[in-house]
Amino acid sequence: MLWYIGRRMLQVIPVFLGATLLLYAMVFLRPGDPVAALGGDRGLPPAAEAAIREAYHLNEPFIVQYLYYLKGIFTFDMGVTFTGRPVVDVITQALPVTFQLAMMAIIFETVFGIGFGLFAGLRKGKFFDSAVLVWSLLLIALPTFVIGFVLQIVVGVQLGWLPVTAGRDPDFVSLLMPAIVLATVSFAYILRLTRTSVVENVTADFVRTARAKGLPRDKVVSRHVLRNSLIPVVTFVGADLGNLMAGSIVTEGIFNINGVGGTLYNAIIRGENVTVVSLTTVLVVIYIVANLLVDLLYAVLDPRIRYA
Amino acid sequence: MTTTITITDGATEDVPVVEPRPDANVPLLEVKDLQISFTTATGTIDAVRGVDLTVYPGQSVAIVGESGSGKSTTAHAIIDLLPGTGRVTGGSITFGGRELVGLKRKQTEDLRGREIGLVPQDPMSNLNPVWRIGTQIDEALVANGFQGSRAERTARVAELLGEAGLPDAARRARQYPHEFSGGMRQRALIAIGLASRPKLLIADEPTSALDVTVQKRILDHLDDLTAELGIAVLFITHDLGLAAERAEHLVVMYKGKVVESGPAAQILKDPQHEYTKRLVASAPSLASRRIQSAHERGQEADELLADHPDASATAAPEVVVAKDLTKVFHIRGSRPGASTDFTAVDSVDFALPKGRTLALVGESGSGKSTAANMVLGLLEPTAGTVMFDGRDVAKMSPKEQFALRRRVQPVFQNPYGSLDPQFSVFRSIEEPLVLHRVGDRKSREARVRELLDMVSLPQATMRRFPNELSGGQRQRIAIARALALKPEVLVLDEAVSALDVLVQAQILTLLNDLQAELGLSYLFITHDLAVVRQIADLVAVMKDGSIVEHASTDEVFDNPQQEYTRDLLAAIPGASLEIGG
């Protein structure tokens, strides 16, 4: 097991370097000169331009610039935005809200997705199963903003149960509706994944052996059907954690949340490369860590992987 | 009393109190007129139609039948574990005087494990890969009301594993199924089946997935154990020899019905029903000889077989010669730098004379299939050579190797896996002709028709798809495909192992006829010595990558030189029995 963890940790290093290099190269190759743009139509005095280029190492070769960028990441010195605000500040403000939102969504989609999927799988071909399958397909087909607006109108405005938007520094209750909206599509996927997996495992030979032992049904399901069915689900949840962190732009927009998605969107529109690169780097790191956790969880769930 | 576990959960059901000495005249299990149906999209299928069966306490009974005969379905109905849509639609199953059909779920759960144990068929898939072996046995104890602390249970688990014949049981109990070999897993499954000392043990093909020598050891052990504990055993098997050897009473099933039942010895000596007669006649026992059609070639087999293989080689030219053939695999270890070399085939020599059959015999892991793959040119030898018609296969150019494929064709074990389900029979057989640009569309179709005739299938079969055909028909098609390019050598890798005995006998006869007709040479890879006797002229016995004995078939069977060969021969189920009156 220790060897497995060690090997898996070492694999993080090339992934991190590769991802950041690619990211940096893409922004580097972006058309337009940010320094020239600073001067607007009139242009900067040559001396000032040279000074800026000197200060930001823009005259150095690409690879040296990349190394400066790496150094910045490890020293938490990621530069400043156009308005002079440190990028680290921007990130520390946007990240916690998004993180809370993503965590709530993950909990929602896994608990309900696995729950409904398990029950549907155990009742394969019955009414509950068919109903759940149709509904989940519908949820996958509907765009996120439709679900968001409908919930806002019904639950927020007409019933008045939950706040319509989250706004600045949102609390748990006001994040509830955005979290549900954010989770719907993945919920449907997890449900279907769990169901398929359960259907497959219910007829497995080892489940029959477990029943033949005299094990009560609830134990057969929890110990032999569910645990084995979770292995593919865990893979999906891990990948989804990264998506939820980065891809909540639409949901954050609908509910007026100042999270990572909105910040990134605005930075891209404004061409604020420093913010884009820094924020994306943070997302890359989150993605890598999430996948590392999944792989470790994998090894816990399936002993065969520890030795592979 | 010592072997039963007291029921303490205060259940109100009238489970008969277990007498210290059960009355041997009162049936333990009585199945009467049992009917079982499966519902499918196209209607209901009656899998079991009126089965009667009686097992007395401590008795061993075997249900014998081919796949699809309903033997496993009957057994699973007894503990209410019918797969899918299967339902008992009629008849009764009484156990210890109590009706089992229509029991509530909770009552059935109490019965399973405690009263009736199950040892399932395939040890590879019947243990949950994510739980430790010990945990899976422990579950059986807890579920059946074992009273004791965690430490006591751990000790009991080790005791049960040890009793099932697993050495170093306490440490083994902490391992996972993937760290166990097939035989070890089967022992763990036996430990689970016997954990709560049931009165009846259902053993559903308990060893059919294992090597013969392992099979024999496990069955011997199971015999001793159940006799000692006074447990009645219901064997389910396709192997008449095994059934007759292990059970006192036989029940022969065919197409969902019991066609004959009675004492084992009597059924073997004097089978009454037509099906049983055929089964007894084609049982691949030691009594059987080389199938006769081989002799129709006009060669006196005895003369040839009496000689040493080297001597007989001078009589017929050798078409395939393997010399010092070696294959080493690198196996990656669990930690860096821990990779090891595994020698699958260790400087092996054999020669296949033209028009003859050489059998490579061995248990799983003996290297026989690896050797076959090197002959086929699918694996590159680490050292040594395979000479085909005097030319080194490894030194051939890609073009020459392509040409070689026309002359050496394989037939694999699993006809379900080796035919593309998307291809019609015609396309499957035609494909090699297309690849090698033989003839035009019209002549190819004529050739496919001719090949279907050769393997005794109606020509109309060519429009059908593999899923519409039985296992035996599929294997015939695999043979037809192999023959399409008019090869000189067929490599038959366990080509009849997946088939029922009667079908197996038909395919072996077909292969013999084709050999006589077309002058084919066969390299026959198998673990089944009984089959070898029916088809092979020469035998090479492999063990751990080396050939331990290489001689003519009669020599190997009548006068085995090596201890290992003698063990293999002794392990053939039914080897000690006189089959057929």
Helix count and strand count (H, E) for chain B: 22, 20
B109 touches chain A (CB under 8 A): yes
A204 touches chain B (CB under 8 A): yes
The tens digit of pLDDT for each residue in B351-383 reads 999 888 999 988 877 888 889 888 888 888 888
Averaged pLDDT, B445-468: 88
Helix (H) or strand (E) holding B255: none
- How many domains, in total, are found in chain A? 1
- Chain A hits for B334, CB-CB cut-off 8 Å, are 3, 307
Averaged pLDDT, B507-532: 88
Q: Do B176 and A219 touch (CB under 8 A)?
A: no
- Reading the block at residue B162, the tokens are 């040890």
Domain membership of residue A208 as a residue range: 89-262
**Which of the residue ranges A31-45, B225-239, B294-308, B545-559 would you say has the lowest mean pLDDT?**
B294-308
Averaged pLDDT, A103-112: 93
Report chain B's mean pLDDT, rounded to a whole number: 83
Residue B328 above 50 pLDDT?
yes
- Chain A hits for B193, CB-CB cut-off 8 Å, are 212
Residue B286 above 60 pLDDT?
no
**Which of the residue ranges A47-61, B68-82, B95-109, B164-178 would you say has the lowest mean pLDDT?**
A47-61
Averaged pLDDT, B26-51: 88
Residue of B nearest to A300 (CA): B130
Residue B186 and residue B206 in contact, taking contact as beta carbons nearer than 8 Å: yes
d(CA B335, nearest CA chain A) in Å: 6
Which residues does B74 contact at the CB level (< 8 Å), separation at least 6? B31, B34, B36, B48, B51, B53, B63, B253
The percent of residues above 90 in pLDDT, for chain B, comes to 25
Q: Do B83 and A304 touch (CB under 8 A)?
A: no
pLDDT grade for B335, boundaries at 50, 70 and 90: low
Question: Residue A120 falls within a domain, yes or no?
Answer: yes
CATH for A254: 1.10.3720.10
d(CA A295, nearest CA chain B) in Å: 15
Cα B353 to Cα B312: distance, rounded to the nearest angstrom: 8
Q: B143 in helix, strand or coil?
A: helix
Structural domains of chain B, ranges and CATH numbers in brackets = 29-282 (3.40.50.300), 292-331+338-426+487-571 (3.40.50.300)
3-state SS, one letter per residue, for B504-564: HHHHHHHHHHHHHHHCCEEEEEECCHHHHHHHCCEEEEEECCEEEEEEEHHHHHHCCCCHH
Q: Do A209 and B117 touch (CB under 8 A)?
A: no
Residue from A201, A207, A209, A226 to probe the interface with B (highest B Cβ count within 10 Å) = A209
Q: Do A209 and B114 touch (CB under 8 A)?
A: no
Place of tokens 């100042």: A258
The tens digit of pLDDT for each residue in B412-456 reads 887 778 888 889 999 999 999 998 888 888 999 999 999 998 888
ipTM above 0.90, yes or no: no
In total, the C-beta contacts within 8 angstroms joining chain A to chain B are 92
A126 touches chain B (CB under 8 A): no
Classify the C-alpha dihedral B429-B434-B438-B441 as positive or negative: positive
Q: Which of residues 224-263 of A touch B (CB under 8 A)?
A: 224, 227-228
Place of tokens 């607007």: A40
The tens digit of pLDDT for each residue in A196-241 reads 999 999 989 999 999 999 999 999 999 999 999 998 898 888 888 8
Specify the higher pLDDT residue, A266 or B19: A266
> Which of A203, A302, A304 faces B83 most closely, judged by CB atoms?
A203
Residue of A nearest to B197 (CA): A213
A209 touches chain B (CB under 8 A): yes
Residue from B128, B138, B192 to probe the interface with A (highest A Cβ count within 10 Å) = B128
> Which of B131, B140, B335 faces A214 most closely, judged by CB atoms?
B140
Range with the largest mean pLDDT of A32-41, A222-231, B280-289: A222-231
Angle at B191 between CA B197 and CA B209, to 5 degrees: 125
The percent of residues above 90 in pLDDT, for chain A, comes to 22
B112 touches chain A (CB under 8 A): yes
Q: Do A301 and B130 touch (CB under 8 A)?
A: yes
Specify the higher pLDDT residue, A266 or B78: B78
Residue A223 and residue B132 in contact, taking contact as beta carbons nearer than 8 Å: no
Q: Do B126 and A208 touch (CB under 8 A)?
A: yes
Question: How many other β-carbons are positioned within 10 Å of the β-carbon of residue B199?
Answer: 23
d(CA A296, nearest CA chain B) in Å: 15
Cα A250 to Cα B295: distance, rounded to the nearest angstrom: 81
Question: Residue A14 falls within a domain, yes or no?
Answer: no
Dihedral, CA of residue A257, residue A263, residue A264 and residue A267, to nearest 10: 150
Name the maximum alpha-carbon separation found in chain B: 80
d(CA A137, nearest CA chain B) in Å: 25
Question: Residue A305 falls within a domain, yes or no?
Answer: no
pLDDT grade for A118, boundaries at 50, 70 and 90: very high
**Cα(first)–Cα(last) distance of chain A, in Å?**
10
Q: Do A209 and B195 touch (CB under 8 A)?
A: no
Cα A42 to Cα A36: distance, rounded to the nearest angstrom: 10
B144 touches chain A (CB under 8 A): yes
- Reading the block at residue A156, the tokens are 């927020």
The tens digit of pLDDT for each residue in A40-99 reads 777 778 887 788 777 777 777 888 888 888 888 788 777 776 677 788 888 888 888 888
**Which of the residue ranges A94-98, B59-63, B197-201, B519-523 would you say has the lowest mean pLDDT?**
A94-98
B192 touches chain A (CB under 8 A): yes
Question: Residue A164 falls within a domain, yes or no?
Answer: yes
pLDDT grade for A277, boundaries at 50, 70 and 90: confident
Dihedral, CA of residue B568, residue B571, residue B574 and residue B576, to nearest 10: 90
- Reading the block at residue A214, the tokens are 């005299």
Q: Do A303 and B178 touch (CB under 8 A)?
A: yes
Q: What pLDDT is recorded for position B576?
A: 62
B84 touches chain A (CB under 8 A): yes
Q: Do B130 and A203 touch (CB under 8 A)?
A: no
Q: Which of residues 22-61 of A touch B (CB under 8 A)?
A: none
Question: Residue A166 falls within a domain, yes or no?
Answer: yes
> Which of B109, B130, B192 faces A216 most closely, judged by CB atoms?
B109
> Which of A203, A209, A214 faces B126 most closely, judged by CB atoms?
A209
- Chain B hits for A219, CB-CB cut-off 8 Å, are 139, 143
- Chain A hits for B185, CB-CB cut-off 8 Å, are none
Residue B241 and residue B572 in contact, taking contact as beta carbons nearer than 8 Å: yes
Q: What pLDDT is recorded for position B23?
A: 60
Residue B513 above 80 pLDDT?
yes
Q: Is B82 exposed, middle or buried (0-12, 13-18, 19+ CB in 10 A)?
A: buried
Residue B310 above 60 pLDDT?
no
Report chain A's mean pLDDT, rounded to a whole number: 84
Averaged pLDDT, B518-530: 88
Residue B363 and residue B207 in contact, taking contact as beta carbons nearer than 8 Å: no
The tens digit of pLDDT for each residue in A12-26 reads 889 888 888 888 888
Place of tokens 């405690």: B114
Q: Do B109 and A227 touch (CB under 8 A)?
A: no
pLDDT grade for B575, boundaries at 50, 70 and 90: low
Tell me the DSSP string of B3-37: TSPPP-S---S-PPPPPSS--TTS-SEEEEEEEEE
Q: Do A205 and B122 touch (CB under 8 A)?
A: yes
**Which of the residue ranges B17-21, B67-71, B358-362, B430-434 would you say has the lowest mean pLDDT?**
B17-21
Which residues does A16 contact at the CB level (< 8 Å), separation at least 6? A284, A285, A288
Q: What pLDDT is recorded for position B430?
A: 92
Cα B351 to Cα B320: distance, rounded to the nearest angstrom: 6
- Name which of B76, B89, B74, B83 is nearest B44 in CA terms: B89
Residue B12 above 60 pLDDT?
no
B568 touches chain A (CB under 8 A): no
Q: Which of residues 77-106 of A touch B (CB under 8 A)?
A: none
pLDDT grade for B491, boundaries at 50, 70 and 90: very high
Q: Do B144 and A213 touch (CB under 8 A)?
A: yes
- Reading the block at residue B35, the tokens are 């009917």
Q: What is the pTM of this model?
A: 0.77
Residue B294 above 50 pLDDT?
no
Question: Residue A113 falls within a domain, yes or no?
Answer: yes
B114 touches chain A (CB under 8 A): yes
The residues that bridge with B328 in the sheet, in sequence order, are B343
> Which of B112, B121, B130 faces A228 most closely, judged by CB atoms?
B130
Question: Residue A231 falls within a domain, yes or no?
Answer: yes
Question: Residue A209 falls within a domain, yes or no?
Answer: yes
Q: Which of residues 168-187 of B touch A (CB under 8 A)?
A: 176, 178
Q: What pLDDT is recorded for position B332?
A: 67
Question: How many other β-carbons are positioned within 10 Å of the β-carbon of residue A75?
Answer: 8
Q: What pLDDT is recorded for position B439?
A: 84
> Which of B121, B129, B143 faces A304 most closely, judged by CB atoms?
B129
Q: How many angstroms from the chain centroid is the CA of residue B49? A: 26
Residue B425 and residue B464 in contact, taking contact as beta carbons nearer than 8 Å: yes
